[in-house]
Structure 1
Amino acid sequence: MILAISFLEAPIKFRAPGITVPLGVGIGRLVFRALNACEAVLALGVAIALAVGPHRPVTVVLFVLAALDLLACVTLRRVMDRRVIGESATHAISEEMPKHNLHVAYIGVEVVKVGLLIALGVTALS
C-alpha cells in the first residue's frame, strides 16, 4: 500500500488531465488519511499476532515502525495539512505553491518505513 500510494499515486495524480494543484492536494489529503488508518489497523493486527506468536524478536522492528508511522501521521502530515489549510484560507492554493521541506521529510519517512517493513518480513520469516 505504501509503495502504491506514496510512490505511484501521489506523483502521478498531478499529471492527469484537468487535475489542478488544489484538487490534487485535496485528493492527497484524503488518500493519505485513509492510508494511515489502514496502516494503524494492520499494525494492530501484526502486534496482536506477535504478542501471541513465537516471533518475539520482530517486536522491536514493529515498535520502531509503529513509532515512525505515528511520527509521520501525527506530526508531519498534520503540519502539512495545517499549511495547506492556512494557504487556502489566506489565498487560493496556486499552481505555483512553493514546495516545502516537509514533503521531502515525509518521503524520507516513507522510504524508511518500506525498509522497516522488509526487515519485519525477513525477521518474521527467519
Structure 2
Amino acid sequence: MHGPLAVAVAATFVWLGMVLAISFLEAPLKFRAPGVTLQIGLGIGRLVFRALNTCEVVLAACVVIATWSSAVSMVTRMALLVAAAMVAAQILLVRPALTRRSDRVLAGAEGPRSHAHYAYVALELVKVVALLAGGVLLLLGSA
C-alpha cells in the first residue's frame, strides 16, 4: 500500500482512535475524578471537544482527498463519507445546543439535562461504525 491509500488508512484509524479515546473514555471518566465539578467538567469538555472536532475535520478532509482519486469501492467511499457527515452534523446541528446548555450551566443556572448529548452520542456511534467499516474495507481493498 502506497501513497494516498496509505494516508487514507492511517488517517481513518487515527481518527477512530481519537473518537474512541475521547468520546468513550475521557468524557465520561472526567466527571468521576475527585474534585471535578460539573462546571469544571463542562469547561474541560468544551475545550477537548472543540479540539477533537477540529482534528476530525482535518482527518476527514485527508481521508476524502486521499480516496478521491484512489481505486476504492463505492461502499468504502460511502462509509468514509458517512463518518465525515456525522462530524458535520455534530458541529453544525448538535454542538450549538450543547454550547447553549453549557453556557447556562457555567453561568450558574440549573435546569433539565440536555437531550442534545444523546444525539451527539448517537452520531458518535454511527461515526465509529462507519470509520471501522471504512478502515477495514480500505485495508482489504489494498491487500
TM, length-normalised to structure 2: 0.78
Q: Write the distance in 1 (CA, Å) between the matches of 2:97 and 2:31.
A: 21
Kept in 2, the 8 Å contact 1:50–1:56? The answer is: no
Indicate the residue corresponding to 1:104 in structure 2.
118
Indicate the residue corresponding to 2:48 in structure 1.
31
Match of 1:112, as an amino acid?
A: V
Q: Write the distance in 2 (CA, Å) between the matches of 1:116 and 1:88.
A: 34
Identity of aligned residues (%): 48
Of 21-30 and 67-76, more deviation after overlay is shown by: 67-76
Match of 1:103, as an amino acid?
A: H
Whether 1:8 and 2:25 are equivalent positions in the alignment is: yes
CA shift in 2, pair 1:87/1:17, >3 Å: closer
Whether 1:117 and 2:134 are equivalent positions in the alignment is: no
Higher relative contact order (CA 8 A, sep 6+): 2
- Runs (4 or more) in structure 1 with deviation over 4 Å come to none
Matched residue count: 122
> What RMSD in Å do the two structures reach over aligned CA positions?
1.6
Q: Which of 29, 33, 47 is the equivalent residue of 2:64?
A: 47
Structure 1: where are the runs of 5+ without partners? none
Match of 1:104, as an amino acid?
A: Y
